[in-house]
Amino acid sequence: MSTDKNRATAAAILPLVGGPDNITSIAHCMTRLRIGLRDRSLVQEEALKAVPAVMGVVEDDTYQIVLGPGTVARVTPEFEALVAEGRAAAPAAAAVSTPAPGGPGGPGGHPVTAAELASQGAALKQARKARNATPFKLFLRRIANIFVPLIPALIGCGVIAGLNGLLTNLGWLPAIVPALAAIASGFMSLIAVFVGFNTAKEFGGTPILGGAVAAIIVFPGVAKVAAFGLELKPGQGGVLGALAAALLAVYVEKWCRKWVPEALDVLVTPTLTVLISGLVTLFGLMFLAGEASTAIGTFADWLLATGGAFAGLVLGGLFLPLVMLGLHQALIPIHTTLIEQSGYTVLLPILAMAGAGQVGAAVAVYYKLPHNGSLRSTIKSALPAGFLGVGEPLIYGVSLPLGRPFVTACVGGAAGGAFVGLFNQLGVGFGSTAIGPSGWALFPLLDGTSGMGSTLAIYAGGLAVGYLVGFAATYFFGFTRQMLAELNTAPEPAPPAPATGSDPDKQPALA
């Protein structure tokens, strides 16, 4: 997408979310533009979904507009610039930031089908948001906020690591291989520092102090320190230790801010924060977090080596419901720990099968409802993103509002997960060197112990199984007769004037 198109997309989105004065914060993750809104009632959601680059919207603690990988990183700066320009021209912005009443999505709109399903999807998202606003799930969301900003570096370094492995196996460019190894490994060797920085930032501390305490974990000199009768190793405890150390630093810093006199604060607070947190990290947290990290890696290997197909079936089948419940965020530190330990996470390729089941289900809906042009159009526009692992448009626009196809999509994910898990049980272990991508976008990030050819073939086979089973389960079991009668009809075109007569075949599919 060119710069002009990026700016045009941003310019199309801004008035539909209430204008510059309605924006309180702007950020983005791998696929979504995340904006804070003063008044969500100003959002023209149906018109927003109609913007060509918008794949869907998700309502959470922020309003999230799904733009897809790559696109979101280019549209966000343009959106920020437009918001800044709009605020600079305050009088003009005030005049145009309030949308006209009765816009798109108001009463008297299009006759049902895809539009009605989108409305149902929005209601389901709102209900899910209310259910997910528990203290535990909000805590998991904050943990996820620590790791999500690291994903671009994990992806970039993971792709370079895969390229380096390919060159090493082929014996090509031997002079370049060491340089690529350094580039790929540099970030992972210091990931604890970034985790500490983000942890302190997320929990209200001074980010650099969180990073400073976490840096102790990767300092080579810790090898001279003994804890619990054992010498420490640089990196012991990894990201879990860094998270715990930085979180402790936040609480120590807040305590110091409360009790240390202001005249001494600039000297005493940073010193005590680093000293107290550092000592606890060295003589407690590194050892404990190291044991926890080792246990996670051992359990993941044991699970797939012994449970194999069954473990894959459960993980692949339940991942979409976990996403709906907000519990999938608990997996992010686990993925990162596995990548730090073995170079890849064995869980992600299995969980990616959930997206394959979703794609297969959507294709089945497309062919099962040949007369529902609006819903088929929604599926056609969302499928390319679905193949690349961006599933929100298909989930919220198609399968979840329909109900049964969401369940049959999970069946497809379970079948694909069982396929990949079976080969793990047979000794063909592999995983992803980064988190974030899924679907076809995961191919460049795959690595394993049995050669790249086997790894790619098994992952592709898992996707194929997920597609086929998701399609078959949805096509044969995803609809009741009543659903087909209501949904498999062509929407009535909107004429400029009411049509005379009443042909029963022209009535809306749903009341």
Which residues form the catalytic set? 29
Query: In this structure, are residues 207 and 270 in contact, taking their beta carbons and an 8 Å threshold?
Result: no
Say which amino acid occupies 277: S
**Could you tell me which residues are beta bridge partners of residue 35?**
26, 63
As a whole number of angstroms, the distance between CA 453 and CA 460 comes to 11
Tokens 């051992």 belong to residue: 298
Reported as type and span, the H/E element at residue 66 is: strand 63-66
DSSP 150-167: GHHHHHHHHHHHHHHHHH
CB atoms within 10 A of CB 27: 16
Least Cα distance to 161 among 432, 372, 406 occurs for: 432
Q: Where are the alpha helices (DSSP H) in 132-206?
A: 135-147, 151-170, 177-189, 191-202
| Neighbouring residues of 42: CB distance < 8 A, sequence distance ≥ 6 | 17, 18, 19, 22, 97, 98, 99
Query: In this structure, are residues 84 and 77 in contact, taking their beta carbons and an 8 Å threshold?
Result: no
Say which amino acid occupies 251: Y
Say which amino acid occupies 84: A
| Strand 32-37 relative to strand 23-28, pairing | antiparallel
Note the maximum CA span of the chain: 90
Query: In this structure, are residues 89 and 95 in contact, taking their beta carbons and an 8 Å threshold?
Result: no
Instruction: Give all strands (DSSP E) within 264-334, no chain letters.
Output: none
Q: Tokens for 301?
A: 């290997």
Query: In this structure, are residues 434 and 335 in contact, taking their beta carbons and an 8 Å threshold?
Result: no
Rg value, the chain, Cα: 25
